[in-house]
Amino acid sequence: MARAEWGSRLGFIVAAAGSAVGLGAIWKFPYVAAQNGGGAFLLIFLMIVCTLGVSLMIAEMSVGAIARKSPVGAYRKLGGKGWSLVGYIGVLCGFLILSFYSVVGGWTIAYLIKTVEGSILTADPGILSKTFDSFIADPVTPLWYHALFMGVTAGVVLAGVQKGIERVSKYLMMMLFLLILVLIARGLTLEGALEGVRTFLSPDFSKVTATMVIEAMGLAFFSMSLGMGCMITYGSYASGETYIPNSAASVIGLTTLICFLAGLMVFPAIFVFGFDPSAGPGLTFITMPAVFSHMSGGQFFGILFFFLLFVAALTSSVSLMEVVVSFFIDEFRFPRMATTVVMSVLMFVLGIGASLSLGVWKGYTLFGKNLFGILDYLSSNLIMPFGGIMVAILVGWKAWAVVSIRLMRPDGTQPLWLPLFKNFCRYMAPVLIFVILIQNL
């Protein structure tokens, strides 16, 4: 059976950017940055993205493009039989992330409906915080939205690569980008907004700790969809004419820009309305309704924002599910429909526990974290960095001969950065990530 391909290079870039520009950039980046000092965290994050992020994005896309297989098959083909274990871990990571990611995706649908009803258009921090807390603590309502979001994700994956994933990403990600710009412009006109911008952009190096660096690396991996096989899977659908370095740079650039803009969108509102920067996962859902309440036509923009936030979440969740589904299709020749349905149900079941851990199961913790936090920490701060180490070693050592050929320019010449990239994958990336991992443990 012929391997599916993206319809165009632009489709590949937008779909890969859609995988990265999801809730990681718009939902997670602002609250993690707020919890870690704003400007200093932003600087550390950018340094990691411009070094590890770019290198690993090129590495993962190259592995997929050369092997033309899902992570397990790709690692086995380029590294040997023993390397397939790394692919299995990547598939597991995608499974774990989507189980709790779908819960948050469900929140976007719920808040879209709440905005249509007009029930959250208030600038009162107390009301907004109470509304969000009571919603996620409800043992039943969030699960319906979790199921709905998982079902929509499954529907897109069932439609395939071009008709499903590429089409959804291509037409809606630009709308999200434009709306963020509109919301930034409105937020900056609020009295006191510049204090939020100053906090976001001014680095306070006294805030830099080992924990912050770990958080920045984990967020970089999460935001860029690295270390779990998404970019290997998406790279496997790239045509032979696709020049991977340019595509990788475009994806990294778009994702970093959206992260930065998301911070500019949320931080002013934090200071204007007196919200708690350490509010955690609910920060975006608490601050943005306050901005809409002060906008002319705020309800319309609120509806549009939460719809497009849902779309951003969807483009990422689709890539996560595609990692799992493509594994079973490639390895066992399972039909796409049956695989997608079964995996969706299993991920939904695990997500039930993640959702309840924010409410009725809140008291059950391990190492001070509930199940939602454990799944997030395990995947973002442990498994994904491990995947980053292994793909760097694979590319730098085991498969360099074929990778270096794939990275040649279209005219057949060697790019000047190729030797640096080789050494970075061989030495710097594995050592740097390993040191941070040990500190993390």
- Average the pLDDT over 354-368 and give the result: 86
pLDDT value of residue 307: 84
CA dihedral 366, 31, 391, 52 (to 10 degrees): -130
- Average the pLDDT over 305-334 and give the result: 85
- For residues 5-24, one letter each, b for 16 or more C-beta atoms within 10 angstroms of the residue's C-beta and e for the rest, the string is bbbebebbbbbbbbbbbbbb
Distance between CA 311 and CA 108 in Å, rounded? Answer: 9
163: Cα separation from own chain's centroid = 22
Pair 196, 35: CB distance under 8 Å: no
Which residues lie below 8 Å from residue 147, measured CB to CB, with a gap of 6+? Answer: 106, 348
Residue 1, domain member (yes or no): no
CATH number reported for the structural domain that contains residue 265 in this entry: 1.10.4160.10
Q: Residues 440, 50, 186, 200: is their CA dihedral positive or negative? A: positive
Pair 390, 71: CB distance under 8 Å: no
Least confident stretch, 39-48, 160-169, 193-202, 312-321: 160-169
Helix (H, G, I), strand (E, B) or coil at 191: coil
Whole-angstrom CA distances from 280 to 4, 34, 313 are: 39, 9, 18
Pair 56, 391: CB distance under 8 Å: yes
Residue 3, domain member (yes or no): no
Torsional class of 202: left (φ above 0), alpha (ψ -120 to 50), beta (otherwise): beta
Residue 352, domain member (yes or no): yes
pLDDT value of residue 88: 93
Q: Is the pLDDT of residue 308 over 80?
A: no
Distance between CA 424 and CA 428 in Å, rounded? Answer: 5
Whole-angstrom CA distances from 27 to 7, 278, 418 are: 29, 13, 35
423: Cα separation from own chain's centroid = 27
Q: Which domain holds residue 230?
A: 9-440
What is the per-residue pLDDT across 251-286, written as a single tens digit (0 to 9) for each?
A: 888 888 888 888 888 888 777 777 776 666 677 788
Please give the mean pLDDT across all residues of the chain: 84
Distance between CA 395 and CA 223 in Å, rounded? Answer: 22
- For residues 359-396, one letter each, b for 16 or more C-beta atoms within 10 angstroms of the residue's C-beta and e for the rest, the string is bebeeeeeeeebbbbbbbebbbbbbbbbbbbbbbbbbb
What is the per-residue pLDDT across 82-103, written as a single tens digit (0 to 9) for each?
A: 999 999 999 999 899 999 999 9
Residue 377, domain member (yes or no): yes
Which residues lie below 8 Å from residue 433, measured CB to CB, with a gap of 6+? Answer: 52, 217, 385, 388, 389, 392
Residue 4, domain member (yes or no): no
Residue 269, domain member (yes or no): yes
Residue 5 pLDDT class (50, 70, 90 cuts): low
Residue 189, domain member (yes or no): yes
Nearest to residue 170, comparing CAs of 161, 181, 158? 161
Distance between CA 237 and CA 252 in Å, rounded? Answer: 18
Q: Is the pLDDT of residue 433 over 80?
A: yes
Distance between CA 355 and CA 362 in Å, rounded? Answer: 10
Tally the residues of the chain. 441
Q: Is the pLDDT of residue 19 over 90?
A: no
The structural domain count of the chain equals 1
Q: Residue 369 phi/psi, 5° resolution?
A: -120, 145
What is the per-residue pLDDT across 379-415, written as a single tens digit (0 to 9) for each?
A: 877 888 899 899 999 999 999 999 999 999 888 889 9
Residue 149, domain member (yes or no): yes
Distance between CA 384 and CA 392 in Å, rounded? Answer: 12
pLDDT value of residue 119: 85
What is the per-residue pLDDT across 190-249, written as a single tens digit (0 to 9) for each?
A: 788 888 888 788 887 887 887 788 778 877 876 777 877 888 887 887 777 888 998 888
Which residues lie below 8 Å from residue 374, measured CB to CB, with a gap of 6+? Answer: 366, 367
